[in-house]
């Protein structure tokens, strides 16, 4: 996913302060600072009992979980949670407060993860900078590693599992993911990894180093090699998988030629931790079929699901299209029924890929702007499809409680509810209720895992 950034200095937004009694009121408003551990135990969305009747039942018998890889191959979903996003702070662009004063931001707190876990989630994808610097000589950035260590410690304290997912590394900056074409990042873009053999070798070395550091961490259940590979778009402006593979297969820009070396580097030091791999095309469902499986153990293939992107999940404000309804979903001039059947058909390529390649798959990014009409119903149906297929999943995103960032970049800050203009934490809302309905199914956590 591509979080948007703001260059201008932000005006400090102060939350409305109410007492703990607000937790029992029909609409529960509390500040992020007030949301202590005690409150995360009580301030939860009220479960709509009628909602439970629409959910795909859990299978009567599920495969026993003995290893981390079993989490990805079980008969039913075992990991249900969310992505968190961080990037390097560039003071010249971000100022001194927007993303915090650290090397990486926005900052997260223990309360952020405690609230997520209290809603039932057992899984966090840390979508963040890689441990090696982006420019030669591609050395370890100790500040970035300390930040990752702190994130893992907080997630473990909240009794959740984690996948380490790198957005940046040797020859690759964040900005073509989040901010392509935005002028204030001019001079900071870096996508040389798609043409530079030295950068690609260093990316593999970065993962070898990372695996050595975290192979014995009991909550780390995945290494995601690269968040949303995007050579086709960044180098050539190509959106068609067929066109790209016809013209560039086997080139340095071909992820299929690049990623197996990263897998091999990891497996030299860590034979067991599952490795997550998405395709080019920002790991979209449409590009999954182009991904050639590697020869290695414990690999999981992932897709990101934001379709229909421009006409629904990311439609501009004020939104015109709702779910479920009927409108020109595909932009082809024809009216389509936009409902659960439509979503299920969108995801057929994922089912086909898993069956054809005989590999485990997961949906480790999906989401919708919180204020889009019918967002909760859309997520409920989409997740039900994941559950029916037995796929693990992580929504985009679980926002930091750091207010200067979280209240400005808030399209996916589900803690604010469905009102576009709301800037106050509203735990009891329809989107969190939908997520809680499924997250509450989680049973395995680090505290009871057999390893």
Domain count, the chain: 1
DSSP-derived secondary structure letter, 12 = P
Those residues whose C-beta lies under 8 Å from the C-beta of residue 378, and which sit 6 or more positions away, are 312, 313, 323, 343, 368, 372
Q: Is 10 a member of any domain? A: no
Distance CA 124, CA 152 (A): 9
In a domain, 278, yes or no: yes
Please list the pLDDT of the chain residue by residue as tens digits (451 residues).
655 443 333 322 322 232 222 332 222 333 333 333 333 444 556 555 565 567 778 777 677 999 999 999 999 999 999 999 999 999 999 999 999 999 999 999 999 999 999 999 999 999 999 999 999 999 999 999 999 999 999 999 999 999 999 999 999 999 999 888 888 888 999 999 999 999 999 999 999 999 999 999 999 999 999 999 999 999 999 999 999 999 999 999 999 999 999 999 999 999 999 999 999 999 999 999 999 999 999 999 999 999 999 999 999 989 999 999 999 999 999 999 999 999 999 999 999 999 999 999 999 999 999 999 999 999 999 999 999 999 999 999 999 999 999 999 999 999 999 999 999 999 899 999 999 999 999 999 999 999 9
Euclidean distance between the first and the last CA atom of the chain, given in angstroms as a whole number:
32
Alpha-carbon distances, residue 198 vs 132, 134, 146, 194, 249 (angstroms): 13, 12, 26, 10, 20
Report how far residue 4's alpha carbon sits from residue 410's, in angstroms, rounded to the nearest whole number.
10
Give residue for tokens 């399209």.
Answer: 411
Q: Supply the range of the domain harboring residue 243.
A: 20-448
Inside any domain, residue 5: no
Cis peptide leading into 324, omega within 30 of 0? yes
Beta strands in 271-418 (DSSP E): 275-278, 299-305, 325-327, 336-338, 361-366, 392-395
Sequence-separated (6 or more) residues with CB below 8 Å from residue 301: 276, 277, 278, 288, 291, 293, 353, 354, 357, 359, 360, 361, 362
Q: Is residue 292 part of a domain?
A: yes
- DSSP-assigned letters across all residues of 49-77: HHHHTTSPPPPSS-----STTHHHHSSS-
CA distance 41 to 35: 10
CA distances from 351 to 61, 62, 285, 365, 397 (A): 22, 20, 10, 16, 24
What is the Cα–Cα distance from 161 to 79, expressed in whole angstroms? 8
The answer to whether residue 2 sits within a structural domain is: no
Residue 7, in any domain of the structure: no
Does residue 129 form part of some domain? yes
Cα 247 to Cα 240: distance, rounded to the nearest angstrom: 11
Does 420 map to a domain? yes
Residue 293 burial (CB < 10 Å; 0-12/13-18/19+)?
Answer: middle
Enter the pTM of the model: 0.91
Exposure letters 374-396 (e unless 16+ CB within 10 A, then b): bbbbbbbbbbbbbbebbbbbbbb
What CATH number is given to the structural domain containing 108?
3.20.20.80
What is the Cα–Cα distance from 132 to 145, expressed in whole angstroms?
A: 9
């Amino acid at each position: 996913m591509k979080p948007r950034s703001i260059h201008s200095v932000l005006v400090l937004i102060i939350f409305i302060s109410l007492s703990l009694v607000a937790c029992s009121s029909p609409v529960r408003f509390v500040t992020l600072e007030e949301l202590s551990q005690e409150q995360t135990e009580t301030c939860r969305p009220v479960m709509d009992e009628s909602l439970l009747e629409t959910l795909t039942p859990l299978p009567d018998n599920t495969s026993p979980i003995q290893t981390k890889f079993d989490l990805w191959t079980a008969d039913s979903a075992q990991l249900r949670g969310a992505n968190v996003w961080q990037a390097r702070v560039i003071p010249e662009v971000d100022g001194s407060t927007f993303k915090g004063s650290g090397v990486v931001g926005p900052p997260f707190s223990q309360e952020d993860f405690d609230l997520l876990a209290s809603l039932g989630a057992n899984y966090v994808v840390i979508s963040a900078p890689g441990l090696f610097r982006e420019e030669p000589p591609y050395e370890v950035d100790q500040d970035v590693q300390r930040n990752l260590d702190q994130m893992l410690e907080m997630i473990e304290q909240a009794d959740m599992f984690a996948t380490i997912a790198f957005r940046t590394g040797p020859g690759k900056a964040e900005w073509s993911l989040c901010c392509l074409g935005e002028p204030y990042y001019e001079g900071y873009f870096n996508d040389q990894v798609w043409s530079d053999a030295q950068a690609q070798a260093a990316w593999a070395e970065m993962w070898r180093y990372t695996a050595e550091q975290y192979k014995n961490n009991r909550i780390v259940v995945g290494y995601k090699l690269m968040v949303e590979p995007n050579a086709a778009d960044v180098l050539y402006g190509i959106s068609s998988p067929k066109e790209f593979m016809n013209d560039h297969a086997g080139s340095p820009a071909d992820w299929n030629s690049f990623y197996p070396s990263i897998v091999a580097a990891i497996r030299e030091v860590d034979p067991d931790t599952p490795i997550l791999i998405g395709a080019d095309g920002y790991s979209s469902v449409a590009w999954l079929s182009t991904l050639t499986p590697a020869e290695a153990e414990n690999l999981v293939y992932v897709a990101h699901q934001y379709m229909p992107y421009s006409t629904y999940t990311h439609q501009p404000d004020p939104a015109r299209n709702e779910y479920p309804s009927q409108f020109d979903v595909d932009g082809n001039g024809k009216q389509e029924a936009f409902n659960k059947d439509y979503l299920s058909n969108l995801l057929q390529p994922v089912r086909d890929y898993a069956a054809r390649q005989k590999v485990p798959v997961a949906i480790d990014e999906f989401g919708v702007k919180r204020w889009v009409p019918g967002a909760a119903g859309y997520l409920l149906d989409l997740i039900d499809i994941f559950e029916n297929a037995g796929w693990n999943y992580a929504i985009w995103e679980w926002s930091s409680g750091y207010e200067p960032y979280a209240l400005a970049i808030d399209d996916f800050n589900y803690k604010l509810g469905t009102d576009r203009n709301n800037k106050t934490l509203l735990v009891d809302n329809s989107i969190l209720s939908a997520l809680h309905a499924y997250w509450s199914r989680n049973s395995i956590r680090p505290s009871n895992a057999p390893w």
